Amino acid sequence: MGIENSKPKRKSIDEHISKKKRPSFVFKSHEKKANDKDFDISREEYRKLIEMIFERSLLEANLVFDRNDSMTCRVCGDKARIKFYGVLSCQSCKTFFRRYNLHPEIVRSCQYNDECEVNMLTRHTCAACRLAKCFSTGMKANLNRKDKRKASTQANYQIVPLDLLTNDRSLLTPAQWTLISNVVHAFDRFGIMSKMKYLAQNVSLTNLKTQFTQDNAFKMIGSAYMSMQSLIDCTPEFQVLCINEQKSLLQRNLHGIGCFYSNLLYRDSEIFDNSACCLSYVLAYGFNNIEQSKILVKRLDIDSTLFQLLLIIIAFSSNCFIVDFDSSNILHDSFLFGTFRLFGSQNIYVELLWKYMNYRYGYNATIIRFSKLIGHVVNMLGYIAEVYTTHSVHRTFVDEVVEETKDILDVSQNQPVALWGKIVGTS
């Protein structure tokens, strides 16, 4: 028997029926065989039954095919379940359409006359043809809700000019602006920043006339203490205190604000960048102390005006020096039974600092910077106490400077003081 085309010939339904003269269907129960209950059917009924089963199988196959076809991306043919921008599409095509629909200017033109085939394998090849197919399948750009939110945000946003004369966006009142101006003027009047910058620019190891010794390093610390005493003395909040309260305030806080001010001096004058000055400080205070001081200088990331306001706040704090004094000196402390008189003065400058930081950096950045500033103050307090307790020469020297400032208060208590260092008759 020969074989045509190497495939068996399919028998027709009639041939299949003729082979079995009496086909029968047996309906079996679940418990036992029922051979005695066979039901005979004719050849015609058997043929119709086979055709019905065959047509049913084709129908089921078509349904499966349609179901699979309906779950494919209309752009590239990948699997898809949800309609994006009005068309059933995959996640990749959805992201592609959102990106390039918002920025069509970044789409490169097609190099093959806009005839590229777009499927799962080639969808990343040509962005122009893929975007064109997205539009041809019915994707709608106006369904991009992100674009609408962005447009509404840009429409409501207006850039506020920095000209305070025409549009003051700060929360500061005119009186507070005047107070800031007074603080800056007082630091310019009594500060030693210009002297520190001169030393940083002119001191040299080779020039004997401009040498910077260990004694100069200690004297600069003493000058910072005396500068802060003069500045605090010219504030109206300090002038309303009695002489004993003034002495107690200096005893409590001058060590702290003197070293805090030195931190600002080191940063703005860049004196540690001068090898001769840095060497003198290392010889005077030791390598580890100066390296720690450099780290604290680098962490100070606010402008000079804000730090000057911070120094005024620290000056009127209850205590910014975490070192215990002798019991004999504590008995002469006028603030021993309460520091409530300092709270009102300090609160004025705390509010001023917060509002000015909001003006300079904005609300969100102010929160971050204010937190960092508090951390910097805590680190500085620990560093100041460590140097004071471990360095005997420094401790003896600054204690003498503090006592000298108290003597100055006794001598000048009956003399008039120009508030904020301003000469009478000037604004």
* Cα atoms found within 13 Å of the Cα of residue 424, Cβ hemisphere only: 3
pLDDT at residue 100 in the model: 82
Residue 199 exposed, middle or buried by CB count within 10 Å (0-12, 13-18, 19+): buried
What is the bridge-based pairing of β-strands 83-84 and 39-40?
unpaired
Reduced to 3 states (helix: H, G, I; strand: E, B; else coil), residue 87 is: strand
pLDDT at residue 79 in the model: 86
State the residue for tokens 């204690």.
399
Q: How far apart are CA 320 and CA 384, in angstroms?
A: 10
Would you say 136 and 109 are in contact if contact means Cβ atoms under 8 Å apart? Answer: no
Would you say 39 and 27 are in contact if contact means Cβ atoms under 8 Å apart? Answer: yes
Which H or E element spans position 97? helix 91-102
pLDDT at residue 369 in the model: 92
SS3 content of the chain, % helix, strand, coil (to 5): 65, 0, 35
Would you say 408 and 229 are in contact if contact means Cβ atoms under 8 Å apart? Answer: yes
Q: How far apart are CA 392 and CA 93, in angstroms?
A: 73
**pLDDT tens-digit profile, the chain (427 residues):** 444 444 445 555 455 444 444 444 444 444 444 444 444 566 677 667 776 765 565 444 443 334 445 788 999 888 888 888 888 889 889 888 888 877 777 788 888 888 888 888 888 888 889 988 998 888 887 766 655 455 444 445 454 444 444 445 678 999 999 999 999 999 999 999 999 998 888 887 666 566 778 888 999 999 999 999 999 999 999 998 889 889 989 988 999 999 999 999 999 999 999 888 899 999 999 999 999 999 999 999 888 999 999 999 999 988 888 887 665 566 677 777 777 778 888 999 999 999 999 999 899 999 999 999 999 999 999 999 999 999 999 999 999 999 999 999 988 888 888 888 876 555 4
- Domains of the chain by start residue, with CATH: 83-144 (3.30.50.10), 174-421 (1.10.565.10)
Reduced to 3 states (helix: H, G, I; strand: E, B; else coil), residue 139 is: coil
Would you say 300 and 376 are in contact if contact means Cβ atoms under 8 Å apart? Answer: yes
**Tell me, what DSSP letter sits at residue 122?**
T
